[in-house]
Structure 1
């Protein structure tokens, strides 16, 4: 297992590399990375916004408004960026918290009136003032982020009342960030202490155990209060508010007929990796508790009590709990349960994107494709695709020092790309800057839907050319970030929005020519051509002028950029540029290239299937045949498939044909999903 010190070194290098490749200040890169990690783990909501304000006695770098849980969070950081882990002292901690408190109090008194309307600080101060005036939050969280270690002399900071509102104090230090890494990559367990009666349901498989139980409304509120969106991390859907007819029905039942809730509601479907029972047959502990169906019910009950102030003590909800002890099979099991069990609201196939073949395809290409040596370098490298935070570090865990050095040379930090950043660079080229402006998690969810639909229409869509073009778009995104930061007109605000709208506008201009941008020019040099940089400089300045001139009644630039009307207005800009034909490629040339890519991929897939069928031991085919023969009348495989499987088990296919290999490959995949092998 990776130690804390090793994690700290890797984390620090990631921050420094990210700052360098994207033109960020190092503390800014630290703050952004940690906040996005907190959003993905459910600590912060999708409303999180970075905004800096530093004055005498005041300091803040961002804020978050969790609309469901009615929590306002103010964030500050202390980035030491030292090789050794520094200690954040007690006096330092209290100083940071006092600065946050002063800022909050000034905001409630109308600080925004003294700020420049086009600044990010104005939007932050104005929103905090408005939230307080409208009583939209009933808890404040003041949060310090640091790459240091919180002093051991301060184990707990008691809550306070500020402006008659409960205020909590939290320090997110390197140990806390390390624990997030362990939970995401090394399957660290989370535990829920509880006491609920249950009935064990007999099953005919060792794959899982199932229990029926009942949760009281107050229990549900307490659990959601503690864990928030982390309860649903296996299920990307979030609460839809009381807008749909289903959610309105839930609210009405809670308010007028709470005693009938159990009868009317479909209940909750949940999973865990283990449970503990007490001497009376009650469930006393649930390990890795996840709600995979019933998120609407859970959130609605919470909102009913916290927002509508309704009594939920008479509300009881049935729960089906499946315990899957094999963590390797849990993701597949959860996806199937979500897909088959959910009836309350429509479930999009993109909700199961974590298991999409897209990730496997991109990962395979990232390992296989070498980047051309550039700028006199004699060493070829890879772009490393990190689907789960920590993969880059974990792949080095058991390497010798020499092997680790070789790995880092071939996979340099500056060529590390994660799924959320990839979704942003792809979405802006798809002309969705308003979506990207809503935050990394929202952008990722939208991208998941796009890719899922794309693969449904064409399962060969993710080719080698797609991978190279996607990496080229990442290079473009990072380059525009640097370009904006260095521009003389840039005053430090709304960089993320400027970047998103700049690249989207370029995509829009290219589309109007009837041609395509030649991304191969970027891939071959691993940088933007000078002619393209000159064009982007002009576009970015026009975009900046466009987004800060918000329409009347929309003084908040951040919120305006999330609006699709903003994108419609930006598209109407007249920018004095000419696209050099050398940057473009004709549609017919692109179509030909795509056809050739798909032919090659189809051949690769066919070879991969044949290799798997030949190298799989005969005892595996025998186990598969015995299982599907036994359950022949209830399984979904056909007689033809079973005949081919029997021949393979009896070694009478030597070797199997291309068509037979495809059928056997599909059966192998199904058997793996069904837990047969």
Structure 2
């Protein structure tokens, strides 16, 4: 890898940090923290980490200082990863002594030692996310058996770091991502090529295989049986990076009928039958290294290995060995390896994945990058120009597509300038962003608390289960308005300097706005203005400490980070939401004119806080009450058939979980209908439920 390529990558990364620092919607305390957030987000997106969060924290354990910049905790795998950043801001990148990077790791190591050594309560300051995380790790105890410190730096490492250190009887692994490695995995260096598997080293011997040539000559195939231990160790080394072209998640072991539970049962009770019972693994490779001996063919290595089907099998083997100490010595796994010789590898992989996964219960949402939904959003972004006709938003369906588009435009100076003016980085958003914004607004802030990838998977699954219609231009404008709302809220919350849980405050605040307004913010106004009004920003600033207060009050003796991931948390917070007061911001009062007409032509009377209170009250009435109200009211003549019809409509909304919210008029007429039926003394059961 050329030094010039690394310098160019470093320059682009520094420019991204500078641009984020100058972005008025972002308020992170330092350029180092911005660097950390950008790098962690991008490493998570390519599968190097899961549920990773930036968390710039420093303090003391007794007299010893600690410093961390982020974390990722995986309870299923029993693993805690801490990020420690060494940032210089120098371009071109300078070489830094390995001893300096080791000091960075040691400051994070002090924190790890506190977690392991029972000193979590001695972390100062204790009322921070770092303190809560330490207490959570201490509570998990032996369930966390793997500790790792990942050093991030924008410098070139001037040497190597020790692979591990010992602390309180535990091995703490150390891993380094310097600018050279970041270039290799995030830059133009193809990340798949980083996976170069020496099968002899992992298995202890060559693996016999049967080569099969395709009749059309578009690919080569090799059939083999891999030792379960070797496959587990390969996953241990490369993790979800092996699933780059597949992006399927390990679905866990919950439920008796879970495929993973069945895998585990076979591993424990009949390991020698695994080859017979399991469908095995389908993989692709850019290069297949072979040896021939006495008419037999052996696999010795694979470069660019990707598991296309069988991610659950591989992850289950890894979990059984690492987490549950299940011996895999007798386990053999059927493996089919395909090397594409002609055509598009990714298209071939997509076809293989879809065909292979029709055999089981894998959801279409698993194939996220190429899902029609994301392609449609990309198309809408390309065609949705702002009101002034001189700009667009850029949907980064695949990681790096914005940079690729910019580079394509860079061949001509005028085109490059036009691209940057039309689609600046500040108007770029990706799949994880989209899922975060929509999940929070739709009432799933607890899902957002799980982090980017897990929330995204849940979001895609919900879309499939709800059979949502394909997005259109109006849907896209609403999405961008939500993006502006969410990002503005992030900026305002950061400026308020909450000691902890800023990201959770944002997600729950957005959900609170969606709940209180019945989802009826004037998105068209936000789209046209491309910003929120000062009155709306003021409302958010007033609500933020109230949401923080409600979250903290709901925690009790629980661990806050874990509690915020529970649906029960949202249920409790939802009962203590801030109230709307008059006068309402323009986004809520219904007075904004459309592009062509007057206020009266668009909305009619000005809305007030009481209108939104009625919507909220309406959404607390169960579906059965609406049905009973309609039937009793119409049968007795108390309700006109039109009012009874409104009650039935509201019953359907309630049965659907209020995924469709009532209008101001529906809420008003619906509540009046319930009051009439109750006043008439009809249906005691209805009266009891309404009352």
Specify the TM-score bucket, using the shorter chain as the normaliser. 0.7 to 0.9
Verify: 1:224 aligned to 2:204, yes or no: no
Q: Which residue of 2 aligns with 1:537?
A: 541
Distance 1:450 1:391, change over 3 A: same
- The alpha carbon displacement at 1:47 in A equals 5.8
2-structure distance, mates of 1:217, 1:473: 47
Verify: 1:314 aligned to 2:319, yes or no: no
2-structure distance, mates of 1:76, 1:179: 20
2-structure distance, mates of 1:572, 1:116: 31
Stretches of structure 1 lacking an aligned partner (at least 5 in a row)? 374-378, 591-677
1-structure distance, mates of 2:560, 2:125: 12
- The alpha carbon displacement at 1:137 in A equals 3.1
- The alpha carbon displacement at 1:189 in A equals 5.5
SS of corresponding position for 2:210:
strand
Q: Which residue of 1 aligns with 2:517?
A: 510
Tell me if the contact between 1:185 and 1:389 (Cα under 8 Å) persists in the aligned partners. no
Distance 1:575 1:146, change over 3 A: same
- The alpha carbon displacement at 1:314 in A equals 0.9
Greater shift after overlay, 48-57 or 89-98?
48-57
Tell me if the contact between 1:475 and 1:527 (Cα under 8 Å) persists in the aligned partners. yes
Verify: 1:491 aligned to 2:498, yes or no: yes
Tell me if the contact between 1:304 and 1:310 (Cα under 8 Å) persists in the aligned partners. yes
Of 264, 270, 277, the residue aligned with 1:257 is 270
Distance 1:342 1:359, change over 3 A: closer
Q: Which residue of 2 aligns with 1:8?
A: 10
Q: Which residue of 2 aligns with 1:17?
A: 19
Q: Which residue of 1 aligns with 2:246?
A: 235
Distance 1:388 1:463, change over 3 A: same
Tell me if the contact between 1:184 and 1:388 (Cα under 8 Å) persists in the aligned partners. no
Greater shift after overlay, 223-232 or 573-582?
573-582
- The alpha carbon displacement at 1:80 in A equals 2.1
The 5 A counterparts of 1:465-504 are 465-487=474-496, 490-504=497-511
The 5 A counterparts of 1:412-423 are 412-423=424-435
The 5 A counterparts of 1:271-310 are 271-280=284-293, 281-310=297-326
- The alpha carbon displacement at 1:349 in A equals 0.9
- The alpha carbon displacement at 1:441 in A equals 0.8
Q: Which residue of 1 aligns with 2:615?
A: none
Deviations 1:247-271 (A, max 9, x none): 3332232223222221122222222
Q: Which residue of 1 aligns with 2:211?
A: 200
- Superposition TM-score, scaled by structure 1 size: 0.78
Q: Which residue of 2 aligns with 1:546?
A: 550
Q: Which residue of 1 aligns with 2:110?
A: 102
Stretches of structure 2 lacking an aligned partner (at least 5 in a row)? 200-205, 595-691
Q: Which residue of 2 aligns with 1:52?
A: 57
2-structure distance, mates of 1:176, 1:371: 38
1-structure distance, mates of 2:393, 2:556: 45
Verify: 1:382 aligned to 2:397, yes or no: no
Verify: 1:424 aligned to 2:439, yes or no: no
Verify: 1:369 aligned to 2:376, yes or no: no
Distance 1:121 1:160, change over 3 A: closer
Distance 1:186 1:560, change over 3 A: closer
- The alpha carbon displacement at 1:226 in A equals 0.8
Deviations 1:327-373 (A, max 9, x none): x6333332332333237752011011211233333333333333245
Structure 1 residue ranges, 4+ long, deviating more than 6 angstroms after superposition: 183-187
Q: Which residue of 1 aligns with 2:606?
A: none
- The alpha carbon displacement at 1:502 in A equals 0.4
Tell me if the contact between 2:526 and 2:587 (Cα under 8 Å) persists in the aligned partners. no
Q: Which residue of 2 aligns with 1:462?
A: 471
Deviations 1:200-242 (A, max 9, x none): 2343223322221101111112111111111223333333333
- The alpha carbon displacement at 1:479 in A equals 0.5
Tell me if the contact between 2:59 and 2:123 (Cα under 8 Å) persists in the aligned partners. no
2-structure distance, mates of 1:226, 1:297: 16
Q: Which residue of 1 aligns with 2:607?
A: none
2-structure distance, mates of 1:390, 1:168: 30
Tell me if the contact between 1:521 and 1:529 (Cα under 8 Å) persists in the aligned partners. no
Of 133, 146, 150, the residue aligned with 1:143 is 150
Distance 1:114 1:196, change over 3 A: closer
1-structure distance, mates of 2:585, 2:118: 56
Deviations 1:550-588 (A, max 9, x none): 34331x2111111111111121114232373842498xx
Q: Which residue of 1 aligns with 2:405?
A: 395
Q: Which residue of 2 aligns with 1:353?
A: 368
Tell me if the contact between 2:533 and 2:586 (Cα under 8 Å) persists in the aligned partners. no
The 5 A counterparts of 1:316-331 are 316-326=332-342, 329-331=344-346
Verify: 1:34 aligned to 2:36, yes or no: no
Deviations 1:143-185 (A, max 9, x none): 211222222xx13424222222222222212222211224687
Tell me if the contact between 1:142 and 1:170 (Cα under 8 Å) persists in the aligned partners. yes
SS of corresponding position for 1:168:
strand
Deviations 1:605-637 (A, max 9, x none): xxxxxxxxxxxxxxxxxxxxxxxxxxxxxxxxx
Aligned-residue CA RMSD (Å)? 2.8
- The alpha carbon displacement at 1:510 in A equals 1.5
- Superposition TM-score, scaled by structure 2 size: 0.77
Tell me if the contact between 1:54 and 1:60 (Cα under 8 Å) persists in the aligned partners. no
Q: Which residue of 1 aligns with 2:89?
A: 81
- The alpha carbon displacement at 1:380 in A equals 2.4
SS of corresponding position for 1:242:
coil
1-structure distance, mates of 2:444, 2:127: 23
Distance 1:457 1:386, change over 3 A: closer
Structure having greater relative contact order (Cα 8 Å, sep ≥ 6): 1
- The alpha carbon displacement at 1:116 in A equals 6.0
2-structure distance, mates of 1:186, 1:365: 29
Verify: 1:112 aligned to 2:117, yes or no: no
- The alpha carbon displacement at 1:96 in A equals 1.0
Deviations 1:4-51 (A, max 9, x none): 223222222222333423222332222122112222233323265635
- The alpha carbon displacement at 1:408 in A equals 1.8
Q: Which residue of 2 aligns with 1:91?
A: 99
Of 568, 587, 600, the residue aligned with 1:583 is 587
SS of corresponding position for 2:292:
coil
- The alpha carbon displacement at 1:323 in A equals 2.0
2-structure distance, mates of 1:421, 1:453: 21
Verify: 1:122 aligned to 2:134, yes or no: no
